[in-house]
């Protein structure tokens, strides 16, 4: 059976072709359910947009995938490792969650050296990561002198240190100007061209559509849509609503 045939029968790719797969993923804080029985199916090698309004449960879901918080219920597999044993896959995952935290008085390069030491990653990965995000020329400058876009790019460089197979970026374009957003789109797309699976969250579907080929939509903690971006476009039907300025003109 081909991957396309499998998708036609089940609505999602076969598990062997998925970088991230969850079943019934749920997180409750007391009586409040933040993530409610979410079934993710993110194809390997895709750029997957994770879309939903603020408070929809995106960051909580991502934190569960990274082992930062434990699910209340459900199961999952990330890069072939079990969600219940994050150590089985985290060495193959890079992540930028919310605003990156660095030492303001250290240079960008020295911040990465500190992270490499903590993560037991070879320091030989630092210069290629800086070059990849376009920070080689400013790597010796103190972090506090960086613009917002440069800080975001340094955060991505940190996520690249372990040479990840899966890259998770939480709202990477937040606060960026239009030029910075376009630059970030190109950077994200380049990762997929290298075979890295990218999961990028945003509350703006228009932004996600510019760079992603797969999309997951969540609202109120529940999955409302999942599949290729082209499939989402095909299901949309434009409507035109016309109303007169004055009721007497209705006829």
The CATH code of domain 26-234 reads 3.40.50.300
pTM attached to this predicted model: 0.82
Greater confidence (246 vs 63) lies with 63
State which of 5-9, 139-143, 174-178 shows the largest mean pLDDT: 139-143
Residue 2 above 80 pLDDT?
A: no
Return the pLDDT at 1.
37
In sequence order, which ranges of 121-168 are alpha helices (DSSP H)? Answer: 126-132, 148-160
Residue 14 above 60 pLDDT?
A: no
Give the whole-angstrom CA distance, residue 219 versus residue 53.
Answer: 7
The stretch 64-83 carries a mean pLDDT of 94
Tell me which residue of 8, 68, 72, 77 sits closest to 42, measured CA to CA.
77
Return the pLDDT at 6.
39
Query: Percentage of the chain with pLDDT > 90?
Result: 64
| Beta-strand pair 197-202/166-170 | parallel
Return the pLDDT at 234.
61
Residue 22 above 90 pLDDT?
A: yes
Lowest mean pLDDT among 9-13, 22-26, 83-87, 152-156: 9-13
């Amino acid at each position: 059976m081909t991957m396309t045939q499998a998708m036609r029968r089940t609505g999602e790719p076969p598990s062997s072709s998925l970088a991230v797969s969850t079943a019934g993923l749920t997180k409750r804080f007391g009586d409040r359910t933040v993530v409610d029985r979410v079934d993710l199916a993110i194809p390997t090698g895709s750029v997957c947009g994770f879309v939903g309004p603020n408070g929809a449960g995106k960051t909580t879901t991502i934190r569960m995938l990274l082992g930062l918080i434990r699910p209340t219920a459900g199961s999952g597999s990330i890069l072939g490792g079990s969600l219940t044993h994050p150590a089985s896959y985290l060495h193959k995952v890079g992540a930028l969650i919310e605003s990156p935290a660095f030492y303001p008085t250290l240079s960008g390069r020295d911040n990465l050296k500190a992270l490499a030491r903590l993560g037991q990653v070879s320091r030989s990965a630092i210069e290629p990561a800086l070059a990849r995000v376009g920070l080689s020329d400013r790597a010796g400058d103190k972090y506090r002198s960086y613009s917002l876009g440069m800080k975001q790019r340094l955060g991505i460089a940190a996520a690249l240190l372990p040479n990840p197979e899966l890259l998770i970026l939480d709202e990477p374009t937040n606060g960026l100007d239009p030029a910075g957003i376009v630059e970030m789109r190109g950077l994200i797309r380049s990762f997929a061209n290298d075979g890295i699976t990218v999961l990028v969250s945003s509350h703006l579907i228009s932004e996600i559509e510019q760079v992603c080929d797969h999309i997951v939509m969540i609202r109120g903690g529940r999955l409302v849509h999942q599949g290729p971006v082209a499939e989402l476009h095909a299901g949309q039907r434009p409507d035109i609503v016309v109303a007169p300025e004055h009721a007497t003109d209705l006829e």
